[in-house]
C-alpha cells in the first residue's frame, strides 16, 4: 500500500509557540495526538536535548509515528491512550518531572480517511465504523445510525455537524433502517445525498461531510476528551511551560478558546494568542489539509 506523505500543519508556527517556554534548556515535551509523528519530529529536531512523551489512542497511528521517529527513538516515550487520560503517574512512569511544552492536534489524520478502512471517507466502500480505538469495542457509527431515535440523531447531526438538514436526514435514516440496516459508509452517504436538495449541496465538499463529522465526534466523544485533556495537560506544565492546540472546525476551536480563557481567569495561566494563528496562503496551496487549521497557545505563569 502506497501512503501519501504526511505534512504537519502550521509547522513553524507550532515551533514558535513552543519555543516561548521560559526554560533555558527545555527537557520534556508531550505530543498528545501523535498521528504520523510529523510534529513530534519537528519538536525533537528543534530541541535536540529534549525528551518527548508520545501519545495516541490508536495503536496503528502510534506504531506509524514511532516508525517515522526511529532516528530519535531513544528520546521518545510512547503511550497508547487518549491524551485526556494523561496524568502525573504517566509522567512519573517516563521519568518526567513536568512538561516544558505540550502539543495537541485535534484533527483526525489523513491516514484514517484514506487508508484505515473504517468508513471515515466517501472514496470507497468501507464498514461504517469510525472508531479511533476499534480494539476497545465501543459503539460504531453504524450502531449510532441504526439504533438512535430520530431526536437523538437530529441532536448529534446539529450539535456536532451544524447540519441544517439534520431533522430530515434523521427521519429518512429511521424510515430506511426498518427495511435495511446501514452497514457501510456509502449506504449512509447515498441517503444523505438523497435527503439534501442538490441546489443546497456545498460546492467544495461532499454533502455528507457534516454528517460524517458529527458521527465521528459522537462515536469517539472527541469534544469531551478535548476539553478534559486540555485542562489536565495544562496542569502538568512546569512554570513557564506552553501548551499549543490545533483545531480544525468551529466546535473544536470554541472548546480550546473557552478552556484557555477559563484557565487564564481562574489559575496561573496567560493566553499567548489573542486570535488564532491561521495557515498562510502559501501553506494552504501546498497542503490543502491545513486550510481550516487554527492554532492557539497558553503559557503557565512563572511564580513571582
Report CA Rg, the chain: 20
Q: Break the chain into its structural domains and give their ranges.
A: 11-111+222-300, 123-220
Digitized pLDDT (tens) for each residue of the chain, 304 residues in all: 334 446 899 999 999 999 999 988 889 999 999 988 999 999 999 999 999 999 998 888 899 999 999 999 999 999 999 999 999 999 999 999 999 999 999 977 676 677 678 888 888 999 999 998 776 667 999 999 999 999 999 999 999 999 999 999 999 999 999 999 999 999 999 999 999 999 999 988 899 999 999 999 999 999 999 999 999 999 999 999 999 999 999 999 999 999 999 999 988 999 999 999 999 999 999 988 889 999 999 999 987 6
Known binding-site positions for S-adenosyl-L-methionine: 37-39, 56, 83, 105, 112
Query: Distance between CA 264 and CA 42 in Å, rounded?
Result: 28
Owner of C-alpha cell 480563557: 261
Element (H, E) at 141: helix 141-147
DSSP-derived pairing of the beta strands 237-247 and 294-300 = antiparallel
Known binding-site positions: 37-39, 56, 83, 105, 112
Query: Distance between CA 132 and CA 88 in Å, rounded?
Result: 24
Query: Are 142 and 215 within 8 A, CB to CB?
Result: no
Q: Give pLDDT, residue 234.
A: 97
Question: Does 11-111+222-300 match 123-220 in CATH topology?
Answer: no
Q: Give pLDDT, residue 3.
A: 40
Topology of domain 11-111+222-300 in CATH is: Rossmann fold (3.40.50)
CATH numeric code, 123-220: 1.10.150.170
Query: Are 300 and 238 within 8 A, CB to CB?
Result: yes
Element (H, E) at 116: none
Max CA separation in the chain (angstroms): 67
Amino acid at each position: 500500500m502506497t501512503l501519501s506523505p504526511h505534512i504537519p500543519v502550521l509547522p513553524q508556527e507550532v515551533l514558535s509557540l513552543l519555543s516561548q517556554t521560559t526554560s533555558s534548556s527545555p527537557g520534556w515535551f508531550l505530543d498528545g495526538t501523535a498521528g504520523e509523528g510529523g510534529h513530534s519530529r519537528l519538536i525533537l529536531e528543534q530541541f535536540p536535548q529534549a525528551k518527548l512523551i508520545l501519545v495516541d489512542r490508536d495503536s496503528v497511528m502510534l506504531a506509524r509515528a514511532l516508525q517515522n521517529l526511529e532516528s530519535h527513538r531513544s528520546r521518545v516515550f510512547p503511550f497508547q491512550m487518549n491524551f485526556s487520560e494523561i496524568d502525573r503517574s504517566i509522567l512519573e512512569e517516563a521519568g518526567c518531572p513536568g512538561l516544558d511544552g505540550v502539543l495537541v492536534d485535534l484533527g483526525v489524520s489523513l491516514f484514517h480517511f484514506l487508508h484505515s478502512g473504517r468508513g471515515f471517507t466517501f472514496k470507497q466502500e468501507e464498514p461504517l465504523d469510525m472508531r479511533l480505538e476499534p480494539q476497545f469495542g465501543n459503539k460504531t457509527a453504524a450502531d449510532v445510525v441504526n439504533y438512535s431515535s430520530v431526536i437523538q440523531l437530529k441532536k448529534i447531526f446539529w450539535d456536532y455537524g451544524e447540519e441544517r438538514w439534520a431533522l430530515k436526514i434523521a427521519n429518512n435514516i429511521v424510515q430506511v433502517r426498518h427495511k435495511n440496516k446501514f452497514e457501510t459508509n456509502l449506504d449512509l452517504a447515498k441517503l444523505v445525498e438523497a435527503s439534501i436538495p442538490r441546489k443546497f449541496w456545498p460546492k467544495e465538499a461532499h454533502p455528507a461531510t457534516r454528517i460524517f463529522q458529527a458521527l465521528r465526534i459522537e462515536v469517539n466523544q472527541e469534544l469531551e476528551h478535548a476539553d478534559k485533556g486540555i485542562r489536565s495537560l495544562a496542569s502538568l506544565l512546569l512554570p513557564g511551560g506552553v501548551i499549543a492546540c490545533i483545531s480544525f472546525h468551529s466546535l473544536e476551536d470554541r472548546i480550546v478558546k473557552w478552556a484557555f480563557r477559563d484557565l487564564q481567569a481562574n489559575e496561573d495561566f496567560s493566553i499567548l494568542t489573542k486570535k488564532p494563528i491561521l495557515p498562510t496562503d502559501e501553506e494552504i496551496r501546498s497542503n490543502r489539509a491545513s486550510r481550516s487549521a487554527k492554532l492557539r497557545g497558553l503559557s503557565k505563569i512563572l511564580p513571582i
